[in-house]
Structure 1
Amino acid sequence: KVMSHLDHQGLATVSRVCKSWHEAATADALLCSACAGAYADPNPSQRLVTKTHAQYLYRMRPADLAALPHAVASNPINPAFLPMHLFRKADVEEAAWEKKRTSTKSVR
């Protein structure tokens, strides 16, 4: 499943996978109800990762992450801080591998 995209006003648009407009709150992020069920903790490949962790752990640039579907949630530490950008871990890993494959092809 893929997260629904959020527009600039924070409203969820249709999910790219299930095409559902129904929304459910998961980790303070808006996901369609069909996709929200796939983000349960027992399934480690479906866990969420923040933008900061994606940049640090997977060496992704903000431009690389901009193309990925994500949800925006209020910061749990302090609501006055910038909101969190949550990405699906599997999407970030796939984009990191694709970035690695493209960079090794250009070196050859």
Structure 2
Amino acid sequence: MNTEIQKLHRIWQSSRAVKTTFFPKNGFKELANTITSSGPFYYYIVDFYDMSLSHISPAIYDLHGSDPNTVTFDDILQLVHPDDLDFVSRAESKISRLL
């Protein structure tokens, strides 16, 4: 695994807590459909406790060729441009300190 992605995992692991939140599938899709986008987009929910994904938009296949039934969070992280990984790590670190 890329060292920058490992850095992201360490940030999330250091601030994770056990809390269960239920998102009804239809409710989330309705919410996601209300988001204004200037182009194609996809969505998913990450459970940072175990890094699992749920409510994965089928559009992830159209945009990245990733199967929504088998894609993992690490697969998605691999899509981040290498030049942007440091920024993403710093942003996630800052957010985790605010929680």
TM-score range, shorter chain: under 0.3
Pick the structure with more strand per residue.
1
**TM-score of the superposition, structure 1-length normalised?**
0.26
**TM-score of the superposition, structure 2-length normalised?**
0.27
Pick the structure with more helix per residue.
2
User: Larger relative contact order (C-alpha < 8 A, sep ≥ 6)?
Assistant: 2
